[in-house]
Structures are given as C-alpha cells and as structure tokens.
Chain A
Amino acid sequence: MPAVRTAAGARGVASIPLTAERMPHVRRSADLQRLAPADVEALRAIVPQPGGLLSADDDADAVAPFNQDWMRKYRGQSRLVLRPRTTEQVSRILAYCNQRRLAVVPQGGNTGLVGGSVPVHDEIVLSTQALNQIRAFDEVSGILTCEAGCVLEALDTWLAAKGYMMPLDLGAKGSCQIGGNVATNAGGLRLLRYGSLHGTVLSMEVVLADGSVLELGKPLRKDNTGYDLKQLFIGSEGTLGVITSVSILTPPRPKAVNVAILGLDSYEHVVQLFRQARADLGEILSAFEFFDSECMSLVKTHIAGARAPFETAARFYVLVETSGSSKEHDDEKLAGFLERAMETGTVLDGTVAQDATQVAAFWSLRESIPEACAKDGGNFKYDVSMPVDKIYGVVEAMRAHLGGTGLFPPPADAGADAERIKRVVGFGHMGDGNLHLNITTTGWSPRTEGAIEPHVYELVQQAAGSVSAEHGLGLAKAPYLGYSKSADTIALMRRVKAVFDPNGILNPYKYFPDAQ
C-alpha cells in the first residue's frame, strides 16, 4: 500500500489524490445505487435539525473534511454527510438506505489509521458527532453508559471529577469517539492494565443495516445468557451495524501515578526488564512502552521542546508507569524494582518523574514519536503483534533486508531527490507484544514500496504474528488479512457479514480481502 505522503507545512485538501483514482482496482459496486435528489430530501426530513444534513451541492467545504482521513492518505467522493442526534434518526436513516441500496460509511472522530472511516466512492457519511450524550453513570460499579459520539478525552475528564477514568487511552484521545473506539477495538497505552474493549464493554445499542435497533447485552458485569453478540461488533469497523451507545466498565482513577524512563543497551535486557516489572510491580504496573534510539533521535530533531530524560546514550528506552491507590506503597515497590534493575546491570540509567509536569513530559516523548516520524518524510507504518521476545528481531530483519536493496542507507552519491529510505524505527506497547514499525522515506515510489512490502508481512507471518495488532483492517490492511487468518475463517466471516448486512450497504470496499 502506498506510503503516507506527509511533509512539514500546510497542504490543501486538493493535494490528496482521490482514492478512487489512486486505487482503480477498488471498483464501485454496481449493486449500490447513486444518490438522487429525492433521496437527499427524504434523508433531510429524517434529520431536520440544523447541521443534521450537509450536502456537497449546498456547501462543498463543509463536506470535504468528512471525505479525507487524518493521515491525508485517502480522499473519498461522498456528496452527503448525515449527523443524526438520536438513535431513532440513525435507525430511520439506515432503514431508508438499506431499502434504496445506498452505501453508508459510519464515521466517528475520523482518526483511524487504515482508511476505514472515509468513503472510497460516493458512500454517504453517517457521522456520530451529534450522538454525544452521557446517558447514565453508576458510581458504585463505575459503569458508564454513553452515546457513540462522546469524545474519549471528554469522557475521561467527566469521569475524573467522579474519581474514575476511561479504561483506554490513546494518542487520538482529543478527537476520537467512543463508538469508533469500540468499532475498531482500539487498544492503546493502558491495555496492559485494564484489558481490551472486549472485556470492558458490557453492552451496546446497535442499529443494524435494516434499521432495527438492538440492545446487545446489559450494563452488567456478568451475564451468561446466550451468544455474546456484542463481541462481533467490537472491532467490526462499521461493517455489521452502527453502534449508537455503549456501556463500559470504568476503573477508579488512581491516586498515585509514577512514570520512569529507563535506558537499556539490548533488546534481551528490555525483555528481561519486562519480566522483572511484572514480577516486582505486579498489580500496579499500568504501562510498559519501548522505543529505540532512532525514535529518540527523531523526537529530539523534530519535536520542539523535547528533552532527553538522561544523558547516557541508550540503544533502547522503556517507559514504565505504575498506578495505584497508595503513593507510599507504589513508591516503595518502584524504588525496589529500579534498584534491582540497576544493580543487575539490566538498566544503564533512568529518570523518575518528580511531578505531574514531568510525567506529562515523559509520556509526550513516547506519544510524539508518530508525529516526529511524519515530520521526517513519507511514512510506511506497520502495526503488528507477535510474541514479545521476537519483536525487535523483525525491526532488525527489515533493516538488513532493506540494506540489501541499495535504498537504505542511501548511497553517498545519491542525488537530492533520489528515492531513499531514511530511517527504520521500532516502538510500541511492548507489554502487549505490539510493535509499531515505521519506515521514513523521502517520498513514495513503487521501488520503495516494493522493497518493504510484502516482505514485512512475511516476516510477521514467520513470527506467527498479526499484521494488524490494533489499527484494524479498513482499506489499507484488508488485502493482507490472509497473512493472519485462514481462508476458512475468512469465509465464515463473510457469512456473518451476510447475516447482518445482506445488501452490503455498510462500509463497503473494506475489511475483506476481495472487497476490492
């Protein structure tokens, strides 16, 4: 798949090529109808409130942002955006579109990284932006019921006042919406401690393609009454129905948080440190992230105000976070863990945050790596998972492989605009076995892409891993599903899709390998 074309400095919307032109093999389905004026009027009647309907005929500028993704890699050609305010409106919209065979792309915060949230052709965008009410909160159990369009950070801030927090956290928190998080089974920085959405989501309200509204599960911690259908929707990326509301179990907000950044000289030591952290820190461990020295170098180069946590040059950096209910207890455990790590020589140097500002600064070092990569040039991004001890081997294998192509490092006599691979960096949620492999380039070319893919997917397959750990399939990864799922499994998935969306109106062209 082509690289993200990114560059420092602003670029207009027009400079993102249309997905339909860049990927002509993703043909518009003949079974799906085109939008007629009568359709627009019928839909306008369903969402009569101001801002309920945006038409490209009335205001192309208003519609444009819904057509392009956050990475500025994909641009669709939707002529209509709907922003229903209630589940009932969603139901009537889908019933109408299903009957008319009009394709629909459900869209939340539009922060996805695989092009799953934007149209490819002229699909109607169904935005959950206006479904933003918190419906209920049980202060005893911490069960929060809210609508799909609630922004993750806004929910966390609301819960903070009550002494609770959202069980997930990711870089896009200021824009992503909980419905989209659930539809993509978002992972993030705290999965290590609080588990995945498959565990924390207790129930959901969904609208199926034909408009039927279903309550899947109940806001109860335990309920073993029948097939747990909501699990199908978690990670279904808008292909089985539209999630309109979610009940999620929220943990108490920790009273004590500690963050340390540590420097190590080999990946074996990083793995050792992880085992030691599980043993010594136990239940208070809330994050274990790693990044290599290339990442630190990129952040220091491209991110204003970034400060190295310590002076010792380290090959690998680990960010450890603990969260608990007692500062004294946590401080003692952390101090013991760090002492042992230094004494055994596992850790070369490190820094412990002394106040909340330093905690934020340390997290910012880790969280700004994707931005630093984007500023370095074109990006090929891979989000893969595999057994923890194999992670860095994949990064090193890619470097070796690319070294053999003559593109990396670029030859000394390469001209200024020669295609070249600049850096191969690895970072990620090591505790979850999740590697983010980023390759920065001077631009995209078939030769660069051919050097990287499909080799990277073969490496992941050899490590018995997943080609998409948390970013999902969308448009970008759908063709590679076969590297991680058998043909029989994919066939069964298709049968499930047919049950929920027989007319194929929900987020077509995505998720399945031959949807294109």
Chain B
Amino acid sequence: MYARRGFVLAVSSEMSLRVLVPVKRVVDYAVKIRVVGGKVDTANVKHSMNPFDEIAVEEAVRLKEKKTAAEVIALTVGPAKSQETLRTALAMGADNAVHIEVPEGQEIQPLQVAKLLRAYVEKEKPGLVILGKQAIDDDAGQTGQLLAGLLNWPQATFASKIEFADAAKKILVTREIDGGLETVEAPLPAIVTADLRLNEPRYATLPNIMKAKKKPLTKITPADLGVDITPSIDVLSVSEPPKRVGGKKVESVDELVDKLKNEAGVI
C-alpha cells in the first residue's frame, strides 16, 4: 500500500522493501598475493566474492526470509568475469542481478563505484543498501560512506546487528567501534556496511544454484547511467612489504631449542 505525495512514492509496508547489495569480485582470501611488474598478479589467480559482501548478501537474504524485505538485488561493477560473483549471490538467495560491465583491465575506484550506485539507486529506488564494509583487495572501506554522502542518506557502518523498528521505517544498527559497541538509529532509506560478526553466510546449495540460473541478470554500462568512471586517484606504485631482514636460520629443531634456551633465554 503506497501513499502518493507528489512525485515521491512513500513506502508504508514492510513487504515492499527492496534491498540492494553491491558485491565485488576480488582475489580469493586464501591466495598469497604477489606483485609482478608493479601490479598485483591477478592472472590465473583464484577469485571469489569479497567475504564482507558475502555477509551483506546473507543479511539481505535473511531479511527476505523474515519477510522484512520483498526483494534482494545483487549488483556488481566489473569485467565479464564478475558475473560469477553475481551467480554466487543469486545462489545464496538474491532475486535478481545487475552487472555494470566495464572493460577488462579497467581500473575502477570507490568514488566511481559510489557514483554508479547513486545513479542506479536514483533510478530503482531501493529502500536499503547493504555493502561489505571494505574490499579485501584495496581495503579502501569507502564506498558505502561515499554513497551515503552522494545520496545524502544516513549511514550505519561496521554493522554487527541490524534490527527494524517502527513498522520497518527505521533501522537500529549495532556497530563495532574501537571502544566496544554503539547502537545507532536511522530512518530508511539508509546505507549499512557489514562487518565480520553480522552473520555467518550460508553455503550455496544445489537446488538454489540451479534456480539461480533462471533468475534475471541485467547488463548495463556506465554510459547507460551517465557516469564517467575515469579514476580520480593516481596509483604511483605497488610493492610487496619489505622482506624481514636479520634473524638467523637454524639447521635443526635441536639447534633452535638450544638457541632459545641458551641465547635468547626464553625457555
């Protein structure tokens, strides 16, 4: 049931809440990163969904199961291969997916992603956007915050719990901060970024993987949204951390024990 005021559609029913979950395809968490030719080596390296984005998808799907949300939309910005990540989101329970495709090798930074998301949000009007708090490749931790700024929406970041109040017009979000936990309240529409302890993401089970194949996946380009994705930050150099120097190599466990006992005096 909607109340129409001017050009704004105000949501008054829990059931029509649409949740947008942007997800990112990154180098897999378990892979040892190597820098080759001044860049992180991504050729032939295993990729998967950013772990914090998995948590965001899981939270959105749970909202749907609780009937708080009506629809979960997964969205990604990336080259063709990024579709795999959308398939994972669909297999976890997202209803449909959007792929904003950019050329292979194109660098895409948080501000440009936030601008693309803003354009999408202004068109499709989801009531809640849940993002992972940061991507494990750039560790920028900015996209959710930039998006909130661009949309002038409230933001609740590093969420470890999300609750709904006031007939799903408000969210109560518990955040993990340095000193402990903080609870904030915000009216919808709002931005939330997911932290590690928000939930444990489900596995993608076979029946859902098969259902995912039939779910809609729309492809659009940045031009369709009228956004210029030229990076605004120049990366000057990328290097591995310096190898630890000093220290001695020992030939055997016995020698180690001897040194710990007689040189370091720690045992």
Hey, which bits of chain A sit against chain B, CB under 8 A? 50-51, 62, 129-130, 255, 257, 260, 262, 307, 309-310, 335, 338-339, 342, 347, 349-358, 360
| B8 CB-CB contact with A under 8 Å | no
The answer to whether B49 touches A355, judged by C-beta atoms less than 8 angstroms apart, is yes
The answer to the question of B245 belonging to the interface, with a C-beta cut-off of 8 Å to chain A, is no
- Nearest Cβ in chain A — how far from B82, in angstroms? 13
Q: Which residues does B use to contact A, with CB under 8 Å?
A: 28-31, 44, 46, 48-49, 51, 54, 88, 91, 203-207, 209-210, 251-252, 254-255
Known: A50-B255, A353-B203, A356-B28. 13 other contacts (CB 8 A): A51-B254, A129-B252, A310-B205, A335-B209, A338-B210, A342-B206, A342-B210, A347-B206, A350-B205, A352-B206, A354-B49, A356-B30, A356-B31
Docked CA distance A354–B87 (Å): 10
Q: Are B206 and A354 closer than 8 Å at their CB atoms?
A: no
In the complex, are the beta carbons of B203 and A358 less than 8 A apart?
Answer: yes
In the assembled complex, which residues on chain B have CB atoms less than 8 Å from the CB atom of A255? 44
Given contacts A51-B252, A351-B204, A352-B209, contact A357 B30 (CB under 8 A): yes
Measured CA separation A255–B42 after assembly (Å): 12
Contacts of B51 in A (CB 8 A): 355, 357
CB-CB under 8 A from B30, the residues of chain A are 355-357, 360
Smallest Cβ distance from B26 to chain A, in angstroms? 10
6 tightest A-B contacts by CB? A355-B48, A356-B30, A350-B206, A351-B203, A51-B254, A356-B28
Q: A360: which B residues are within 8 A, CB to CB? A: 30
Are A356 and B29 within 8 A (Cβ)? yes
Which residue of B49, B206, B207, B209 has the most chain A CB atoms within 10 A of its CB atom?
B206
A362: nearest residue on chain B (CB-CB)?
B203
Knowing A339-B210, A356-B30, say if A351 contacts B205 (CB, 8 Å).
yes
Known: A356-B29, A360-B30. A342 touches B255 (CB 8 A): no
Q: Flag if A310 contacts B203 (CB, 8 Å).
A: yes
Q: Which residues of B lie under 8 Å from residue A342 when comparing CB positions?
A: 206-207, 210
10 sample A-B contacts, Cβ–Cβ < 8 Å, listed by A number: A50-B255, A51-B251, A62-B254, A255-B44, A338-B210, A339-B210, A354-B204, A355-B30, A356-B29, A356-B30
Q: Assess A355 versus B254: contact at CB under 8 Å? Given A310-B203, A310-B205.
A: no
A350 surroundings in chain B (CB, below 8 A): 205-206
Least Cβ distance of B210 to chain A in Å? Answer: 6
DSSP class of A's interface residues: helix, strand, loop or mixed? Answer: mixed
Which of A51, A351, A354 makes the CB contact (< 8 A) with B48? A354
Residue of B with least CB distance to A355: B48
Q: Which residues of chain B are near A352, meaning CB under 8 Å?
A: 204, 206, 209
Contact A130 B252 (CB under 8 A): yes
Partner of B254, one of A50, A338, A339: A50
Chain B residues, Cβ within 8 Å of A349: 205-207
Please name the residue on chain A nearest to B255 by beta carbon: A50
Complex-state Cα separation, A353 to B206, whole angstroms: 11
Chain B residue at smallest Cβ distance from A356: B30
The reply to whether B203 and A356 contact each other, CB–CB distance below 8 Å, is no
* Whole-angstrom CA separation of A307 from B200 in the bound complex: 11
Docked Cα-Cα span, A357 to B47, in Å, equals 11
Q: What is the bound-complex CA distance between A310 and B203, given in angstroms?
A: 7
Residues of A within 8 A of B204 (CB): 351-352, 354
* Chain A nearest CB, measured from B83 CB (Å): 11
Taken together as a complex, chains A and B put the C-alpha atoms of A129 and B88 apart, in Å, by 45
Residue of chain A at shortest CB distance from B258: A50
Q: Chain B nearest CB: distance from A462 CB in Å?
A: 37
Q: How far is the CA of A350 from the CA of B54 in the complex (A)?
A: 19
Chain B residues closer than 8 Å to A338, beta-carbon distance: 206, 209-210
CA distance A260 to B46 in the complex (A): 17
Q: Which residue of A lies closest to B48 (CB)?
A: A355
Contacts of A335 in B (CB 8 A): 209
B203, B207, B209 — most chain A CB neighbours (10 Å) = B203
Bound form: Cα–Cα A62–B252 in Å: 13
Give min CB distance, B190 to chain A, whole Å: 28
Nearest CB in chain B: distance from A158 CB, A: 13
Q: Measured between alpha carbons, how far is A360 from B29 in the docked complex, in Å?
A: 12
Q: Within the assembled complex, what's the spacing in Å between the Cα atoms of A50 and B250?
A: 12
Q: Select one of B48, B54, B206, B252 contacting A356, CB under 8 A.
A: B48
Known contacts A356-B29, A356-B31, A357-B30: A51-B207 contact under CB 8 Å: no
* Nearest-neighbor residue (CB-CB) of A339 within chain B: B210
Contacts of B29 in A (CB 8 A): 355-357
Report A-chain residues with C-beta under 8 Å of the C-beta of B88.
354
Most buried by A among B46, B88, B205: B205
Q: Which residues of A contact B49 (CB under 8 A)?
A: 354-355
- CB contacts (< 8 Å) of B254 on chain A: these are 50-51, 62
Q: How far is the CA of A339 from the CA of B54 in the complex (A)?
A: 24
**Contact between B255 and A351, CB atoms less than 8 A apart:** no
A447–B151 CA distance with the chains assembled, in angstroms: 76
Query: A residues within 8 A CB of B91?
Result: 354
Chain A residues in 8 Å Cβ range of B206? 260, 262, 310, 338, 342, 347, 349-352
Given contacts A50-B254, A51-B255, contact A355 B210 (CB under 8 A): no
Q: Which of B30, B51, B54, B252 has the most CB of A within 10 A?
A: B252
Contacts of B210 in A (CB 8 A): 338-339, 342
Give B266 Cβ to nearest chain A Cβ, in Å: 19
Nearest CB of chain B from residue A284's CB, rounded to whole Å? 16
Bound-complex Cα distance A257 to B204 (A):
16
In the bound complex, residues from chain A placing their C-beta under 8 Å from that of B205 are: 309-310, 349-351
Give the Cβ gap from B178 to chain A, nearest Cβ, in Å.
27
Complexed CA–CA distance, A307 and B203 (Å): 10
Q: How far is the CA of A347 from the CA of B209 in the complex (A)?
A: 14
Give the docked Cα–Cα distance between A62 and B28 (Å).
42
Residues of A within 8 A of B207 (CB): 342, 349
